[in-house]
Amino acid sequence: MTASEVLSELAPAAALSPDLPAWDRELSGKLLMAPMAGVSDAAYRLMARSGGAALAYSEMVSCAGLHYGEKSWELVDPDPAEPEIAVQLFGSKPELFRESAERVAARLGDRLALLDINMACPVPKVTRKGEGSALLEDPGLAAGIVRACREGAPGVPVTVKIRRGRYMGQEVAPEFARAMEAAGAAAVAVHGRFATQMYHGEADWGAVARVVDAVDIPVIASGDVLSHDAARRALSETGAAAVMVARGTYGNPWVFSGHVPTPVEKIAAFECHVRLLEATGAHLKRARSLAGWYFKGMPDAARWRNAAMSCVTAEEFLAVAAEVRAALGS
């Protein structure tokens, strides 16, 4: 089956929609699916859009990878079932950003909603190359990267994702966001942690609010948006135009709509997700993580998670789902 056929056949049983409306370029009040390394492939994006996400992002894509090889393009190309996607790029060389922006825009055409520049990733293997959150220390270079992307893809909105700052206690987000706005960024997403915090501690939504006060472009709130209620609170408390949801999507494509799924709907969603992995050509081992997320909170969840860890084929994963459904019925 194609991904569209999978959604048509399986999404309704999971209280998800097989119809994916086109992105209207309006951020106000929208809930977006964040870029997540190793997670946000085409199947994951389709589940999020089916659950109500207004837009879904690719995994972060290396500009150097796009320049030197073909494999990175697998992260860029949308599935035919996707109306459009946002593509997040990372790197540190403006000339490679310009080239990548031009090539991505030419390849995706109208299906490219926007280009996002990662200036938030805290992982040392990224920052030691001057990429990700390391750019927070060099606003001049970061502004040059924004301008390069705009030059490479005229007419495509260019946005940036940042953190409060790189080091604890050194908040640079408001001033940095002003520099990105001056360089032509169409919006800025703010994760309310310092890079050195990684994902520990609590995100400070006050940092998002301070960026909202500092710039005139739309601001997207990020960090600790783990439920639909949290997303709505983030909009209200920060004044942000939109919210980006990352870990809150794990096993929960309904986070965007606020629907509270039944256990049976969660099983149906897992089955749909597995079939989408198959339809989009993704590695089926990804379903091992999905099983842990979708089965969380169910009776004997550890048992089902362990059973999924030995699965290889789609049919094996679906057999575990059938066992979970039978156990619930008993």
Q: So which residues are the catalytic ones?
A: 121
Q: Shortest CA distance to 241 belongs to which of 30, 59, 2? A: 30
Q: Which residues contact 126 (CB under 8 A, 6 or more apart)?
A: 90, 132, 133, 134
**Alpha carbon separation from 12 to 1, 9, 269, 272 (Å, rounded):** 16, 7, 9, 10
Q: Shortest CA distance to 100 belongs to which of 132, 75, 125, 127? A: 75
Q: Shortest CA distance to 83 belongs to which of 62, 103, 64, 108? A: 108
CA atoms within 13 A on the CB side of 130: 9
**Alpha carbon separation from 249 to 190, 244, 253, 293 (Å, rounded):** 18, 10, 6, 9
Residue 61: strand pairing partners: 89
Round to whole Å and give the CA distance between 180 and 253. Answer: 31
Return the ∠ at Cα 305 (arms to 31 and 57), rounded to 5°.
25
CA atoms within 13 A on the CB side of 55: 28
Phi, psi (degrees; rounded to nearest 5) at 298: -85, 155
For residue 225, the Cα-to-chain-centroid distance in whole angstroms is 12
